[in-house]
Amino acid sequence: MNARVHDITMTVNGEETRATVDARKTLVDFLRDDAALTGSHIGCEHGVCGACSVRVDGAVVRGCLMLAVQCDGARVETIEGVAETDEITDLQEAFIARNALQCGYCTPGMLLTAQELLAAGGVPSREQIRVHLSGNYCRCTGYQAIVDAVEAVAQARHSSRETR
Amino acid sequence: MKITDDSPPTLSALDRPNSYIGRSVPRPNLARLTRGRAQFVSDVTLPRMAHVAFVRSPHAHARITAIATAAAKTSPGVIAVVTGAELAKVITPWVGVLTHLKGIKSAPQHAIAVERACWQGEAVCAVVARTRAEAEDGCELVDVGYEELPAVTDAETALDAGTPVIHPELGDNLTFERVLVAGDPDQGFKDADAVVETTFVFGRHTGVTNEARAIVADWNSGDERLTVYQGTQAPHMMQNLFAKHLGLEEHQVRVLTKDVGGSFGIKVHTYADEMATVALSKLLKRPIKFVADRIESFVTDIHARDHRVKAKIGVKSDGSITAWEIDDLTGIGPYSVYPRTSGIEANQIVNLTGGPYTCPNYRARARVVFQNKNVMCQYRAVGHPIATAVTEGLVELAAAQIGMDPLEIRRRNLIPDDAHPSSGPSGIKFEALSHHESLAHLDAMMNYAGLRAEQKRLRAQGIYRGIGFASFVEVTNPSAAFYGIGGAKISAQDGVTIRLDAQGAIICQTGVTEQGQGAEAVIAQVAASSFGVPIERVRIITGDTDNTPYGGGTWASRAAGIGGEAAWQAGKALRANVLACAASILQAKPENLDIRNGAIVDSGTGTERLPLHELARIAYFRPDTLPPGFQAELMATRHYVPRAWPFAFTNGIQASYLEVDTESGFVTLLKHWCVEDCGTVINPQLVDEQIRGGVVQGLGGALFEHCIYDERGQLTNGNMADYLVPMAAEMPDIEIGHVVTPTADSELGAKGAGEAGTAGAPGAVMNAINDALRPLGAKPLTDMPFTPGRILQALDRV
């Protein structure tokens, strides 16, 4: 049953990681169980809730809909890695200031997905923010605080670009 | 009373120097959550830990004729395969009844089904393996023989003579019945100029916590001690139950709860698979982990609502309400859930219906029946969304019948703000409420007159918008009247211990728990204010039965009101102890000293006399320099439980503004408002976010969420693609206002705020949809969720 195993190499948060994995193992299970990076969470296990969002070669993907073997040779970034850079410090601070998380289980996926929108530049409307986040489930906040936080960061980044 | 929006209330008794009460202080525990450094139970790994997966019944009701486990036992990685009969030697069954719900009955429930499975999804065998995947492989190889039994699925016929009785030893399928008559309902209906009668239906829904239920149980046979990492709202309750059913003493069980990925009442109950996990750890003498997958969550996490309420209101042409009547029926699955029972939601509906209004003539009946579906139990705002939607639906239908504005009929019937203490129609007691002030505030905040004008203008263009309201009362700060008097070992009191550390910071241990509401922030704010240190100098310890005072945990909107008051009192007690020590060092009188901003000061002038770290240094390391006979006591514990009132009722009113597309039946939520009175507001931002999150949970129930069972008891939409939850794009912005009426039962005066949003939102949306469609002659919609199909049916378009 577990005969189908593969040797893979991927860069996880900048570190080269070699492993032998079952063909059936999802990327998020690999990150959590094998790489011990538990910041990526498992919610629905079928691509609906966004709790397992990670970046693969720069694109935000669902860690439960990709297999670890598909990431052989890829560059994978999780919330732990992104948090160690300065890339989303302002967004993290805005989430805290606005209480845009309660239980915090959706937050890593929400932050990476919001950053994808913010990195595209400009100041998105609240409507655009809501649509962009519409694949990330949050049971606690009712979303308004999250929209507020993302909007505030978009405006701040925009005005800092303007004044540069 | 005072209206506040975002400004903190004025608090005389609480207004100490550097007070954090009434301030939107950021929560101290958020950074780890934004950095992926939290520790949810699903993240916990222990040495020698094995994983359990369960074989679950595919049938709603079936006799188990045989379980063949040999093939599974030889599957790679499998450590053990354990049946219900085998596990029953380690853990005893339980019965979910309470003595104060007169006549409630249920049958013994096992950790793993023995002989018979009573709902689709009930565990019938456990497979323990090195990994979850290997455990699931093993489950595939367990061969269970079933003899299908007739499934009881329709609550309406559950009590019919021809319907099989699920537990024959109980005699019938009736779990619980309550009948209440108050005032003179017959005379009330006779006096009415109009009587409106309808049936409200509430779909079954469930909590869909983003992190599924998760537990790691570690029986150490050397220590003879069980350590349980569990995502629970009530660690001490679970400690008691694990001990009781495993034959241990409570001190042999430690329950640890760190980060919890959403609860909402889902994680405050006894789940058979979690009990099985602790029993398997005891049996196999190693750590065992169980994390429900999403399909398991849908078929085993408690469901809620699923009520059918026939309801009637009498009203005079001047708008005065003359009588209420309800007949509630609910099917709760095959077992009453342990230990809180599945009778509470129906009981609450009887208690709360008509609650905001003066009319005392009330007749109610509630029946709770068994059926072969997943179990139902208490979920956020227990009973409130139903009682509120029924009451407010009746009030707005009556207003439409007599041609009166929906706010005007409320003004004429809501309990006056100066009439307290008062009672609701069922006899529930209100210390002090502010219905009229809340309504006036809402009226102004939403610009009601302006919205009506806009609605009228748009109707002329064929755009159908609706405005709906829901006044409500909410049960918070429960005393022992909720569970303790019925015999459940669920603590109504809570404690806080505060100690001064050797550098002058304070460490607070509290029995209330954190699942995202902000309990840690609130306790820290109160302790910092009460004792006198900057909030950065406060550390909170929670979720550990070894290291916190005995307490109830966080549910029923109790953490701030009950845990907060304990923290307030503990802070005062420690301040007195520290000032006694300071007085002996400074040769001053304690009453002339105070603690402000981390230092002992002269209370008159505010001049600093001694920093706290210096006091701690002397007390801990040079006590020889203190006067003979003086002993510094730098740790203080206080407990609190409400005694004067069984519950601290809060009140409020919500409004929904929405648009119905009469071609597609789709509802667009445009805006939502809530004015709420939870007494003293400790942290305005956290209160507002509790309300917003609660509103959205209520909106989900009104528009989307529905556990759809077929007639054979099969859940047909048990996944997140088919069971719809509110997502960001469909949700409106929600404006919050406050009226502040503190409870006099505590010095802090705080009531709860966790459930107000969920209580009122479904009723407000229902009324808004019916308001939108009224000019089209649509039949009033009273069957939640209000799907496009149901709306088109009401419009006779399908």
Secondary structure in 3-state letters for chain A = CCCCEEEEEEEECCEEEEEEEECCCEHHHHHHHHCCCCCCCCCCCCCCCCCCEEEECCEEEECCCCEHHHHCCCEEECHHHHHHCCCCHHHHHHHHHCCCCCCCCCHHHHHHHHHHHHHCCCCCCHHHHHHHCCCCCCCCCCCHHHHHHHHHHHHHHHHHHHHC
Query: What domains can be seen in chain A, in order of their start residue?
Result: 5-82 (3.10.20.30), 86-163 (1.10.150.120)
Max CA distance (Å), chain A: 60
Amino acid letter for position A35? A
Angle at which helix B344-352 crosses helix B384-402, to 10 degrees, equals 30
In this complex, do B720 and A48 lie within 8 Å of one another by their Cβ atoms?
yes
Cβ contact B749:B650 at 8 Å: no
Residues of chain A found within 8 Å of residue B731, distances taken between Cβ atoms: 130, 142-144
pLDDT band at B716 (very low <50, low <70, confident <90, very high): very high
Point out which residues pair with B4 in neighbouring strands.
B738
Q: What b/e readout covers A22-31, taking b as 16+ CB neighbours within 10 angstroms?
A: beebbbbbbb
Selected residue of A140, A146, A153 to mutate for chain B interface (largest B Cβ count, 10 A):
A140
Same domain, B688 and B703: yes
Displacement of CA B199 from its chain's centroid (Å): 26
- Of B640, B657, B684, the residue that ends a domain is B640
**Chain B 121-140, residues with CB within 8 Å of chain A CB atoms:** 131, 133-134, 137
Is the per-residue pLDDT at B403 higher than 90? yes
Q: Give the list of residues 6+ apart from residue B57 with CB closer than 8 angstroms, or none.
A: B113, B117, B119, B120, B121, B122, B123, B124, B144, B146
Whole-model pTM? 0.97
Is the per-residue pLDDT at B5 higher than 60? no
Tokens linked to B689: 């976010």
Which 3-state string (H, E, C) describes B336-362? CCCCCCCCHHHHHHHHHCCCCECCCCE
Which value does ipTM take for this structure?
0.97
In this complex, do A144 and B721 lie within 8 Å of one another by their Cβ atoms?
no
Cβ contact B504:B581 at 8 Å: no
- Of B596, B624, B640, the residue that ends a domain is B640
Same domain, B530 and B617: yes
- Of B585, B619, B640, the residue that ends a domain is B640
Separation of alpha carbons B288 and B139, rounded Å: 16
pLDDT digits (tens, 9 = 90+) for B357-379: 999 999 999 999 999 999 999 99
Selected residue of A20, A103, A138 to mutate for chain B interface (largest B Cβ count, 10 A):
A103
Domain range for B680 = 303-479+644-794
pLDDT band at A3 (very low <50, low <70, confident <90, very high): low
In this complex, do A144 and B731 lie within 8 Å of one another by their Cβ atoms?
yes
How much is the pLDDT for B3? Answer: 38
Same domain, B394 and B428: yes
pLDDT digits (tens, 9 = 90+) for B757-789: 999 999 999 999 999 999 999 999 999 999 999
Tally of helices (H runs) and strands (E runs) in chain A: 6, 5
How much is the pLDDT for B6? Answer: 44
pLDDT digits (tens, 9 = 90+) for A42-98: 999 999 999 999 999 999 999 999 999 999 999 999 999 999 999 999 999 999 999
The percent of residues above 90 in pLDDT, for chain A, comes to 95
How much is the pLDDT for B18? Answer: 80
Intra-chain end-to-end CA distance of chain B, in Å: 51
Same domain, B290 and B316: no
Q: CA nearest B522: which of B477, B560, B494, B552? A: B560
Tokens linked to A50: 């966004």
Q: Residue B594 falls within a domain, yes or no?
A: yes
**Chain A 3-62, residues with CB within 8 Å of chain B CB atoms:** 22, 24-25, 32-33, 36-46, 48-49, 51
Other Cβ atoms within 10 Å of B451 Cβ, number:
16
pLDDT digits (tens, 9 = 90+) for B582-597: 999 999 999 999 999 9
How much is the pLDDT for B15? Answer: 73
Amino acid letter for position B109? Q
B207 to chain A, any CB pair closer than 8 A? The answer is yes
How much is the pLDDT for A162? Answer: 82
Residues of chain B found within 8 Å of residue A41, distances taken between Cβ atoms: 40, 42, 210-211, 261
Same domain, B748 and B702: yes
Picking from A43, A108, A143, the nearest residue to B36 by CB comes out as A108
Q: Order of strands across the sheet with B62-68?
A: B116-117, B62-68, B143-148
DSSP state, residue B151: -
The percent of residues above 70 in pLDDT, for chain B, comes to 98
pLDDT digits (tens, 9 = 90+) for B132-147: 999 999 999 999 999 9
How much is the pLDDT for B467? Answer: 98
Displacement of CA B724 from its chain's centroid (Å): 21
Look at residue B56 and give its three-state secondary structure. strand
Q: Order of strands across the sheet with B608-611?
A: B593-596, B599-602, B608-611
Separation of alpha carbons B533 and B521, rounded Å: 14
How much is the pLDDT for B220? Answer: 98
Q: Residue B177 falls within a domain, yes or no?
A: no
Q: Residue B98 falls within a domain, yes or no?
A: yes
How much is the pLDDT for B29? Answer: 87
Tell me which residue has tokens 């398997």: B280
Among left, alpha and beta (phi > 0; psi -120 to 50; other), residue B121 is left
Cβ contact B169:B83 at 8 Å: no
Is the per-residue pLDDT at B266 higher than 90? yes
Q: Residue range B464-486: average pLDDT?
A: 96
Q: B91 exposed, middle or buried (CB, 10 Å; 0-12, 13-18, 19+)?
A: buried
Is the per-residue pLDDT at B16 higher than 60? yes
Residues of chain B found within 8 Å of residue A148, distances taken between Cβ atoms: none
Q: What is the CATH number of the domain that holds B12?
A: 3.30.365.10
Q: Residue range B716-730: average pLDDT?
A: 97
Q: CA nearest B523: which of B480, B553, B563, B483? A: B563
Picking from A44, A107, A145, the nearest residue to B294 by CB comes out as A44
How much is the pLDDT for B8? Answer: 44
- Total domain count, chain B: 3
How much is the pLDDT for B10? Answer: 47
Q: Residue B19 falls within a domain, yes or no?
A: yes
Separation of alpha carbons A90 and A83, rounded Å: 11
Separation of alpha carbons A21 and B399, rounded Å: 66
Separation of alpha carbons B582 and A11, rounded Å: 58
Is the per-residue pLDDT at A163 higher than 80? no
DSSP state, residue B68: E
Separation of alpha carbons B146 and B785, rounded Å: 35
pLDDT digits (tens, 9 = 90+) for B616-634: 999 999 999 999 999 999 9
Separation of alpha carbons B310 and B288, rounded Å: 47
Is the per-residue pLDDT at A1 higher than 90? no
Q: Write down the mean pLDDT value for chain A.
A: 96
Q: Residue B518 falls within a domain, yes or no?
A: yes
Q: How many CB pairs under 8 A join A and B?
A: 180
Q: Residue range B296-317: average pLDDT?
A: 98
pLDDT digits (tens, 9 = 90+) for B655-708: 999 999 999 999 999 999 999 999 999 999 999 999 999 999 999 999 999 999
Tell me which residue has tokens 């210096």: B614
Q: Residue range B262-291: average pLDDT?
A: 98
Q: Residue B283 falls within a domain, yes or no?
A: yes
Q: Residue range B214-234: average pLDDT?
A: 98
Q: Residue B97 falls within a domain, yes or no?
A: yes
How much is the pLDDT for B13? Answer: 56
Look at residue B317 and give its three-state secondary structure. coil
Residues of chain B found within 8 Å of residue A48, distances taken between Cβ atoms: 719-721
Q: A134 exposed, middle or buried (CB, 10 Å; 0-12, 13-18, 19+)?
A: middle
How much is the pLDDT for B750? Answer: 97
Residues of chain B found within 8 Å of residue A33, distances taken between Cβ atoms: 131
How much is the pLDDT for B555? Answer: 94
Separation of alpha carbons B21 and B19, rounded Å: 6
Same domain, B373 and B229: no
Is the per-residue pLDDT at B1 higher than 50? no
Same domain, B571 and B702: no
Residues of chain B found within 8 Å of residue A129, distances taken between Cβ atoms: 728
Is the per-residue pLDDT at B2 higher than 60? no
Same domain, B81 and B28: no
Displacement of CA B670 from its chain's centroid (Å): 27
Look at residue B125 and give its three-state secondary structure. strand
Same domain, B80 and B19: no
Same domain, B438 and B524: no
Q: CA nearest B29: which of B495, B523, B566, B552? A: B523
**Chain A 91-130, residues with CB within 8 Å of chain B CB atoms:** 92, 95-97, 99, 101-108, 111, 126, 129-130
Same domain, B636 and B662: no
Separation of alpha carbons A115 and A129, rounded Å: 11
Q: Residue B475 falls within a domain, yes or no?
A: yes
CA atoms within 13 A on the CB side of B540: 29
Same domain, B395 and B376: yes
Length of chain B as a residue count: 798
Intra-chain end-to-end CA distance of chain A, in Å: 59
